Structure 1
Amino acid sequence: MALGGIFLFGVLFSIVLDPAYATTTLTSSATGPLVVGRDSVALYCRSQIPNADYLWNLDGEALPGDNRYQITTVLSKANSTLTISPVSMNDTGNFTCEAISGSTTETSNAVRLTLTSNQGSSPVDIPDSSSRLSGVAIHNIVIGFMAAVVLIRVGAPL
């Protein structure tokens, strides 16, 4: 959930975005079942929050210290990658990332890794994010709302 605020005409407007419209998204490199002890996977967290720092979570808790987890963040801070090599049964669960900048914190959708100990078929559950609003669309909605508040404040007809 994204939290932020706009101070306008002496009033602080809080903005809370529904996670369905989040600008921080998480995807996976997995294209099929992941075999424990053999396969690796990369999770990609992308955010439109400027200069974000990233925190990674497994089942709502901070990612445990483990040398199988390698985290890289690009210099622009537009995304962070968690590489797990090799996967283990301890990696079963919901991974999320948090993008944090100043007073803004946004948690991504969850990616659940379901693992197998052999060549058998186990799905990797990745929620569809194609129906999400882009950051630009959310920005335009907020600007439109602010313009309406200004018009109401000065008494202009809508």
Structure 2
Amino acid sequence: NGDFVEIAGESGTVEEINIFNTILKTGDNKTIIIPNASIISKNIVNYTTKPTRRVDLVYGCSYDDDIRKVKKLLEKIVKADDRVLEEPAPVVALMELGDSSINFVVRPWVKREDYWPLKFDLNEKVKLEFDKAGFSIPYPQRDVHVYNEKK
């Protein structure tokens, strides 16, 4: 099987490298034919060359939630998953005070083959655990003010 790469804005597994084009197979089984002339001047990101990858996740909580408790819960969730590597140590940190939420970055390291399964599982686990703990995951909201014009 070929390497999983990102070339010219397209991602997929390299199936063939020909004289004039490179053929990728996407995760949803599409075939992408990229002219090599366009590849020559572009960066190629290869996700297969290293045995480990860092998963980058962002979780928001409400300004009403206790951020120390949110951080502890996120750390507990990450440490409870056996796929998360001890070295390099996972990072859980307050990233920003956003418009609608306080955002934490969660960055565990995993074996390459565990990247997507862990990402999907952590998202589900965080939602379930936030619900159980009473933390809310805010979403952007807009206030609309209606003024009655007096005639």
State the TM bucket, normalised to the shorter chain: under 0.3
What TM-score do you get using the length of structure 1 for normalisation? Answer: 0.21
What TM-score do you get using the length of structure 2 for normalisation? Answer: 0.22
Compare the two structures and name the one with the higher strand fraction. 1
Which gives a bigger RCO, structure 1 or 2 (Cα 8 Å, sep 6+)?
1
